[in-house]
Each structure stands twice: as C-alpha cells, then as structure tokens.
Structure 1
Amino acid sequence: MKALTASGERIECDEVEEGRHGVVCYFDGRIVGYVPYDQLTCVTERRTPVASSSIQSVGYDREEETLEIAFHSGGVYQYFDVPQETYQQLLHARSQGSYFHDNLRGQYDYRRLR
C-alpha cells in the first residue's frame, strides 16, 4: 500500500496504523513515515488478490509503469517499465504463474521488496 500526502509525496508501506492525529506507515515492521491527517490525501492498496498457486496478488502503478507481484512464497517484487497492457494480460491470464514465467521473468528490471 502507499500513503499519499497533500504535497504529492508517496510513502510506500506494507501496513498503516491510525493514531489520534495521523497515520504511521510501516515497512517490514519498521516505521517508514508519519502523516498527519490534515496532510493525508489517501491510503491505497497496491495489489489485487489473484487465483494462482504461485502468485498471491498483483498491482500496477500507471504513472511509474511499475508492476508489483507478491508470491505465496513470501517474496514481493517490483518490475519496472512494464506496459499497462502487460499488467492487464497478467490479470486476465488463464494461469498468472505461467504468464509470469513466459512474459515477465527475465524480461524487466526488478527489485525485491521482501
């Protein structure tokens, strides 16, 4: 998920905790940000669950052209410069795992988030 501030800053996190005056953002159990409610635009989920034996959920950031995939094994990866059409094809594939192996793996730069 990510928290968006009124100034346009994005805080990437995997958990948010609501407090009295704002939200605390966590990533891997560590605090990565705090946003007072009057500066918070929204908190959005980044991934959609899918019915796959290997992939737990997928998400896509149109502005950044970044695909994010969470695997049932616990790994979460971001793939860069992925066209939106590829994301849509992944979502609607008969097998997301097969589509990933045939069309994404080894084709895009990536980073492991966890």
Structure 2
Amino acid sequence: MISTICACLLSSQLLRVASRSIVAIGYDLESATLRLVFRKGQVDDYYEVPPVIVSQFRAAPSKGRYYSNFIKGHFNRQRIQ
C-alpha cells in the first residue's frame, strides 16, 4: 500500500511509524503540510502544522494518542485518498 501512496507524496519522504492506527508520517517544511497514512487506507494532509508539533508527534510513544490530542480537529484537513 505504501508504494501506491508514493506516487502522491509530498517532497519529503514518509516515515513509517509503529502505531495501531497510523502507518506513516510525512512533512513538508516549506508548506507546513503534515501527511498521515492510516491503516485503513486513508491519506490525509493537515495544513499549517508547526515543525514543533511534527517533532513531538514523531517522538510520541503513542502516535494515535498524540494525533487525537494535538492534531485531529486542530488543523485544516484534506482527505487525499
């Protein structure tokens, strides 16, 4: 599935993560766009996400919990796939 998504990536690479709900995280610093690939196949872009949020997200022991508390509902989202 990741290979299918590679065709629509941002300029940054996706980082695979250990999570029950999220497969990979990508971030484009220039546009401040966070891309999330979910286990169920959805790909969402979140806009105007500060780099500090992305750094904390990548370092969080629970990606799903961090996503729910600090990303979901806090940034404009567009479903890509």
| TM bucket normalised to smaller | 0.7 to 0.9
Relative contact order: is structure 1 or structure 2 higher (C-alpha 8 Å, sep ≥ 6)? 2
Gaps of 5+ in 1: 1-12, 16-26, 28-43
From 51, 54, 68, give the equivalent of 1:101: 68
TM-score under structure 1 length normalisation: 0.62
Question: 2:13 is matched with which residue?
Answer: 46
The one of 28, 36, 39 aligned to 1:69: 36
Structure (1 or 2) with the greater helix fraction: 2
Q: Structure 1 runs of 4+ off > 4 angstroms? A: none
Change over 3 Å in CA distance of 1:81–1:45 after alignment to 2: closer
Pairs aligned (count) = 75
Deviation at 1:95, TM superposition (A): 0.2
CA distance in 1, matches of 2:19, 2:13: 18
Structure 2 gaps of 5+ residues are none
Q: TM-score, normalised by structure 2?
A: 0.86
% identity of equivalent residues:
32
